Amino acid sequence: MSMFSQTAEYALRVAAYLGSLDGRPATIRQIHLATRIPEGYLAKVLQSLSRAKLIKSQRGLHGGSVLSIPPAELSIYDVMQAVSPFQRISECPLNLKTHGAVLCPVHKRLDQALNMVEQVFRKSTIAELLAESTTSKPLCETPAEEKPATLTVRRRK
């Protein structure tokens, strides 16, 4: 179980992958292969990121998608907000008349936790994710790690 939507994770995979390309465009197929996001769903994620002006896409021979904001300036929060906005608790979700805008202790703590997560994501950039010293790259295969497609030829006996 996750507190974040699948779409939010997909958007972060896309941002991390595009951020690793140093401004080179990537096609939907390339992004799909690196991030393992189903192509049909990937098109929707790219459309949401484009509407939020986080990526630019160009059709044609040398087309593809690129980040429109440098990875050092693009926060995790911005990426997630583009596809799955944070839902803060401002009034009783149970619609209890006695609570109204005064949150009970449970909902108050939940909202405080959401606030802390939101603040961490606002302060964390895609560049920081990519620069973190680790043996695994964030949420995708980076260009250097991609294995070229090989053609297998079967011989008839």
> Which residues of the chain carry a pLDDT beneath 50?
1, 144-153, 157
pLDDT of residue 128: 95
Distances (CA, A) of 99 to 103, 110, 112, 115: 6, 15, 17, 20
DSSP 25: -
pLDDT value for 135: 65
Q: 91: closest CA among 83, 99, 80?
A: 99
* Cα 34 to the center of its chain, rounded Å: 13
Tokens of 25: 């465009």
| E-only strand ranges, the chain | 55-58, 64-67
User: In angstroms, rounded to a whole number, what is the distance separating the alpha carbons of residues 41 and 38?
Assistant: 5
Identity at 92, one-letter amino acid code? C
State residue 94's pLDDT score.
Answer: 77
**Token code pair at residue 107:** 């909902």
Contacts of 9 by beta carbon, 8 Å cutoff, 6+ apart:
2, 139
Distance CA 12, CA 34 (A): 13
Q: How many CA atoms lie within 13 A of 139 on its CB side?
A: 22
CA distance 149 to 139: 21
Q: Which domains does the chain have, with CATH numbers?
A: 6-135 (1.10.10.10)
